[in-house]
Amino acid sequence: MATEKEIVVSGIRPTGYLHLGNYFGAIRNYIRMQEDFNCYFFVADWHSLTTHPDPKDLPGNVMRVLAENIASGLDPEKVSLYVQSDIPEIAELYLLMNTLAYVGELERVPTFKDKVRLQPQNVNAGLLTYPVLMSVDILIQRAVKVPVGKDQGQHLEMARNFAQRFNHRYGNLFPEPEAFNYGDSLVRIASLDGEGKMSKSENEMATLYLADEDDMIIAKLKKAKSDSGSGEPGSPIPETVQNLLDLMKLVSTPDVVSFYEEAWKNTGNIRFGDLKKQLGEDMVKFISPIRERAKDLQRDTDYLKKIMKAGAEKARANAAQTLQQAKKLIGINYY
């Protein structure tokens, strides 16, 4: 008899454009997971409302995120792709879980403190209870594994806490989800300006987006921060040089990477104009098929809506069972 696959849940906000860091830090893992697990991947449109996106932009942003994920390799036949707001059961469980969340712990969450600092004029209740909704996204499907980066570790720990609190107070229902990334080290894609990691919004010229046109990709890499190109043979590789070599390892052939690594090792010198030209060509070969496929998908809105509805039907069926059991354990079952 076939063994039931373990459930995996992950979501992405429909704000900004997906970039190289999203692909190698998350989507590449999703593509592998879809073969091994029962995957629920969603667009977190309710989460995006905390920053008050323009209503005219939101539908297009949702469609673009779906298209870019499919174009990157997610198979709608193998995973449930849906939009958060199509699952009203999430909102009801969110209400119930808020009674198990405490203001003090929510105020101590580092991401909430950051939001208060960055947007003091918009400290809304949705920002404060963001970790509760994020936890419910996971718990409503009774996921056991969640692919998360290091910066989301505390949110996952809170999901585990909420599962424990509910199970202790009302009865065992929710598994305690664990972080999962196949045991590989998480890929962190450095910003092209050498300042932190690539971001959807921080510095557009320092980030390679999956929607970038070929000439934009080449232009960004030409301006990428590098070294003077001269050093002593065998000297440590400067961080800015290593960042470029790390990008090469993702999209170039091993012999190309080896050529430039050996050049630095043997002479302490790299012709960065040549390196960036080669990297630009290889990056174009990698990004352009994803970009063009995503464009085609975005033009076929009927297909994307079909995918959304099919994913929502499966996600709702599972969520409804979870919510019904939760309400029964709480005592909200009067008929």
Q: Give me the pLDDT at residue 217, please.
A: 96
305 is catalytic: no
Which entry of 197, 225, 277, 295 is annotated as an active-site residue?
197
Residue where the block lists tokens 């002593």 = 232
Report the percentage of the chain scoring pLDDT > 70.
Answer: 94
Report pLDDT digits (tens) over 247-280.
999 999 999 999 988 888 888 778 888 999 999 9
- Reported as a pLDDT band with limits 50, 70 and 90, residue 1 is very low
Other CB atoms within a 10 A radius of the CB of residue 98 amount to 16
Q: Give me the pLDDT at residue 335, please.
A: 87
Q: Give me the pLDDT at residue 302, please.
A: 97
Average pLDDT over residues 230-250: 83
Amino acid at 316: R
- Reported as a pLDDT band with limits 50, 70 and 90, residue 229 is low
Report pLDDT digits (tens) over 167-215.
999 999 999 999 887 766 567 788 898 777 887 666 788 999 999 999 9
Residue 287 in this model has a pLDDT that exceeds 70: yes
Q: Give me the pLDDT at residue 194, please.
A: 78
5 is catalytic: no
265 is catalytic: no
Which entry of 78, 200, 225, 314 is annotated as an active-site residue?
200
Which entry of 56, 113, 115, 222 is annotated as an active-site residue?
115
Residue 86 in this model has a pLDDT that exceeds 60: yes
Q: Give me the pLDDT at residue 228, please.
A: 61
Average pLDDT over residues 284-291: 97
